[in-house]
Chain A
């Protein structure tokens, strides 16, 4: 079974690579600055948000730099939001292919999560520039961050597979998910701190996997702590559970996709 999965994965690695590079080429083909936008875009977005939140709304977080605090949350949330959205529509928008050629269908959501993942890694560059410029000291625990990035990827892929499956059978999902995402953004302590939530609701907020990921990253970057066992487990468990659930549903339903073309 595992051997078969590995064999298949090896066989379709080239396809995956081609799909990801296609997304890159198409995204930047017609723009003058090209791939530079991958860096420029998040920098400019961060600049706008920084001005709005620090000068207009005057948000702050005691003891740590609010801008860094905000950007960590946004970078993680944006990865999830963009990748899960693209993964959701990847099956429906590739129906013409799925209908004609045999290939494992999971390559489409997976390639989208990888494509946005590469963009995510590029946005870490402006994030680190902000961290250094703001005077937040770096520490050795930064080396633990890949753990949370992998968890975030697994969680997003799981959600992407799940959403892609649902959207095949219920096209309304594209609209519904747009609304869910907006709610999700405001219910995740991205722009505000969890201490601003009434205490009896805090536990509920902590069940949000995205909060777990953001909190893990903030602990390391801003508070310079090794995350607690609870934080490690919170990230790992939510990632694994959602990924397995997504794979399970996707595999169970993928042979029916063809009827809903």
Chain B
């Protein structure tokens, strides 16, 4: 396969304002006007990502590792287009399927049938695609009997099954995965995991966040290790995973005095 650049991340930085919540109301606003010192203090900044640079080529499966708050999810959201970076830019070549949060946009009052179209539209699928894949979605989710039942009467496992089935009907060029999603009961978990593995190993470009080093080692061709918004290491899966493991063990030992 020809290796073309699929995603290019150019010097991306992302800033969040931590104290932002306090600026929400007029009352606070007035208080702040008369208290400039406090106003300044609230503008505390937090850089979730700092000058991130790398490229992803066609067919690569990139794993992202790092502790909580390292900026992994923020980076995925920027690639998915949900957030615009404060600085820098992102270029993507191909349609993206973000499997970040399933079932976003389900309306609990609507039936499964209605939600397939609503959720599909929210994910950017066309009506034609949904019409042609409708039976496949239903068959995969195994919810034939409940097609015209409002989703609010579903169990959470059933909702997750429906959401998973809708999200995975496309053949995306870029797949973004935040942890392997195994949803539903044991049988469906096996089925959904197999489906995700099929999507990941099917030759598409994958960005994959996980805390399971096992899964990362098994699936990824390259690993990016993020720490406090910086790329700490980038490269070969095995090397980086080993380094990360050592680092975490050392850190834990430091914290807990083992």
Contacts and interface: CB of A to CB of B under 8 A. Distances in A.
Interface stretch (A70-78, A92-100, A117-125, A241-249): A92-100
Contact of B100 (A19, A100, A171, A172): A100
Contacts of A19: 118, 121
12 contacts: A18-B122, A19-B121, A98-B82, A100-B101, A101-B80, A101-B105, A101-B123, A101-B124, A170-B25, A170-B26, A172-B25, A258-B82
Contacts of A33: none
Contacts, number: 72
A171 B25 contact: yes
Nearest to B105: A97
Contact of A259 (B16, B82, B127): B16
B70 interface: no
B126 interface: yes
A260 B20 contact: yes
Contact of B104 (A25, A97, A170, A172): A97
A96 B100 CA distance: 13
The 7 A-B pairs of least Cβ separation, nearest first, read: A102-B81, A18-B121, A15-B121, A255-B84, A100-B101, A100-B104, A172-B26
Contacts of A18: 117-118, 121-122
A4 interface: no
Contacts of B25: 170-172
Interface in B79-117: 80-84, 96, 98, 100-101, 104-105, 107, 109-110, 114, 117
B34 interface: no
A259 B20 contact: yes
Given A18-B117, A97-B104, A97-B105, A102 B80 contact: yes
B110 A22 contact: yes
Nearest to A172: B26
A99 B73 CA distance: 12
Nearest to B125: A14
Q: Do most interface residues of chain A lie in helix, strand or loop, or is the interface mixed?
A: helix
A26 B107 contact: yes
A58 interface: no
B189 interface: no
A102 B98 contact: yes
Contacts of B98: 101-102
B126 A22 contact: no
A128 to B, nearest CB: 33
A29 interface: yes
A252 interface: no
A111 to B, nearest CB: 11
Given A100-B101, A101-B123, A25 B110 contact: yes
Interface string A11-51: 10011011100100110011000000000000000000000
Interface in B3-51: 16-17, 20, 24-26, 29
Nearest to A260: B20
Interface of B: 16-17, 20, 24-26, 29, 80-84, 96, 98, 100-101, 104-105, 107, 109-110, 114, 117-118, 121-124, 126-127, 150
A258 to B, nearest CB: 5
B122 A101 contact: yes
A187 B196 CA distance: 60
B107 A100 contact: no
A18 B101 CA distance: 20
A225 B124 CA distance: 47
A172 B26 CA distance: 7
A3 B150 CA distance: 39
A96 B104 contact: yes
A21 to B, nearest CB: 8
Contacts of A15: 121-122, 124
Contacts of A30: 109
A136 B17 CA distance: 61
A237 interface: no
A103 B110 contact: no
A18 B116 CA distance: 11
Contacts of B83: 258
A11 B82 contact: no
Contacts of A171: 24-25
B104 A14 contact: no
Contact of B82 (A25, A26, A102, A260): A102
Contacts of B101: 100-101
Contacts of A99: 82
Interface string A140-179: 0000000000000000000000000000001110000000
B122 A97 contact: yes
B82 A101 contact: yes
A29 B25 CA distance: 36
Nearest to B129: A14
A260 B23 CA distance: 10
